[in-house]
Each structure stands twice: as structure tokens, then as C-alpha cells.
Chains A and B, each alone.
Chain A
Amino acid sequence: MNFITTYCHISEDHCAVNGEVLLTNESENSWIRTLYDHFKIDYSKFHKMDLMSKIGVIGSEILKSQNGKIVDYDDDEIALVFANKNSSANTDVKFQQSFKENGSPSPALFVYTLPNIVLGEIAIKNKWYGENIFVVSENFDPEFYENYCNILIPSKAMACACGWVNVLNDSIEAFFFFVEKEASTEDSLPLTSNNLLNLRKA
């Protein structure tokens, strides 16, 4: 049995950690800048990322801030298990506009026209070089996460950083959770499809 040891949600108007709303989008600064400053992310490459990668990096920082054990894992012990519905469509549209409106395609946008780029950004930022997978599926599928994490832990990874990160028309729907072999936090819950469904709605 594996355990969900911490989780968080990010939307375009609020950020919740372990079910408690931590921040709401009320500042005059951009929402992403507010999150970046709040979680004290000091990473210059962040500013060049597309929205989905920024959300992914913020999500990984929140998980680390809530579970001190995460930083103790070796580089190749944390796997990344991610999914969403709309792939990289948010950036694909902007890339298309870049050559329709400006007359030339934007290389800086082009590099984000694949959904799994978010995994690369998270891996580089955190030095998490374990297994990784990004699945595009119609709906949030708790069984996918449950089955895949149970396959990976402990033969291929000691823990999984998981996420549902959907960004479309700059609307954000993100749910991140960390899965480990042991219940390392007080709020840990068994990794089951039902628990994932309930936490996602929390």
C-alpha cells in the first residue's frame, strides 16, 4: 500500500494546500507572480516558461514546502506521473498566433508546444531524474495514477510526484499530490482511487 502524503490545488483564482485555501487572486500583481513570490521561488528560468510549466514548477515547490522528506530522496528516486485534458493547446494557440500576427513563428513559444515539457522543467528545477510519464486523457482518471504509482513504487521509484495540470485559454485547473511507500505526514491517506477523487474535489 502506498500513501498520498501531501497535495495542493491551483486555479486561476486560488491556491489551496492540503485542502486549506492559502492564497486568493486579489493582488494587483499577476497571479503567477503572486504565487512565485509567496513560495519564494528564486529561479530566473521560470519567467520564460509557458503557463503550464510555471504552474507545474509552483506545484512541485508547494509539495516540497509541505513535506520536508521530499528533498531527502536521491535524484533518480522520484518519478513524475502527470496528465491533463488539453495537452499543450494553450501554448499551441499562442504559437499559431505568433506567426499569423507577427509574421514569424516564435522559437520561445515553439519549445513549449508539447505537454510533457512541463515534466522537463520540473525535473530540471528539482533534479528529479526518475521515470516520467505525461498522459492526455479526456477526464481526471484516478485509477491511472493509482495503478501507475503502484507499478513504479518500489521497483522503479521510491516516490511519485503526480499532477493533473490543465491550462486552456489561460484558465488553470491543477491538482498535485505526492505518493510515498510510507505515511510520512500526519495527514497521509492510502493511495486509492476514491481518496484521489475526494481530494481532487477538496
Chain B
Amino acid sequence: MEELKKNLKEQIIERLNLEDVQPADINDNDPLFGGDLALDSIDALELIVLFENYYGLKITDPEKGKKVFESINTMADYISKNN
């Protein structure tokens, strides 16, 4: 699980072009939207693409997406249960 979270942080930094952010800057429980990373709707699209490309998971329900992309912990939890 820790390896998955580390990978997720690296993939988010790469996909969202957060060049000046390090994986250590993202805490597992920090909100991805409305928190220090200040992600927005465009970034939500990136996370959906990331899920499809890296984990073969499709998120089509916006309400589910809100919960899944809440934090690194919720993303890792969803991947581990659905992969």
C-alpha cells in the first residue's frame, strides 16, 4: 500500500506538471481539491486519465469521483479494492 501511495504521488506530480512539488510535500490524508495543491476541474480530468492509463480503472460517476479523488489515501484504497 505504501508503494502504491508513493507511485500515486509521483504520477500526480508528473501528470499535473507539478514540477516544483516533491512527493514528500503531499500528505496521504491531505485533500487534493481545496487544499495546498489547489487542484481544480482540469486536474480532475487528469486524475481520471491517470486512473485509466496506469490502473485500467474508469471513473464515470462524478459523485464517485469526488470521493475517490479526495486524498492519496482514498485513491490508493479504491485502486487496491478494484484492481
Contacts and interface: CB of A to CB of B under 8 A. Distances in A.
Interface of A: 30, 32-33, 36, 44-48, 50, 94, 102-104, 106-109, 111
7 contacts: A30-B19, A48-B18, A48-B43, A50-B17, A104-B52, A107-B45, A107-B46
Nearest to B14: A102
A44 B37 contact: yes
A47 B15 contact: no
Given A48-B39, A107-B42, 18 more contacts: A30-B19, A33-B20, A44-B36, A45-B38, A48-B16, A48-B17, A48-B18, A50-B17, A94-B17, A102-B53, A104-B49, A106-B15, A106-B17, A107-B46, A107-B49, A108-B16, A108-B17, A108-B42
A70 to B, nearest CB: 25
Interface residues of B, number: 18
Contacts of A45: 38
Nearest to A109: B17
Contacts of A32: 19-20
B15 to A, nearest CB: 7
Contacts of A102: 53
A44 B17 contact: no
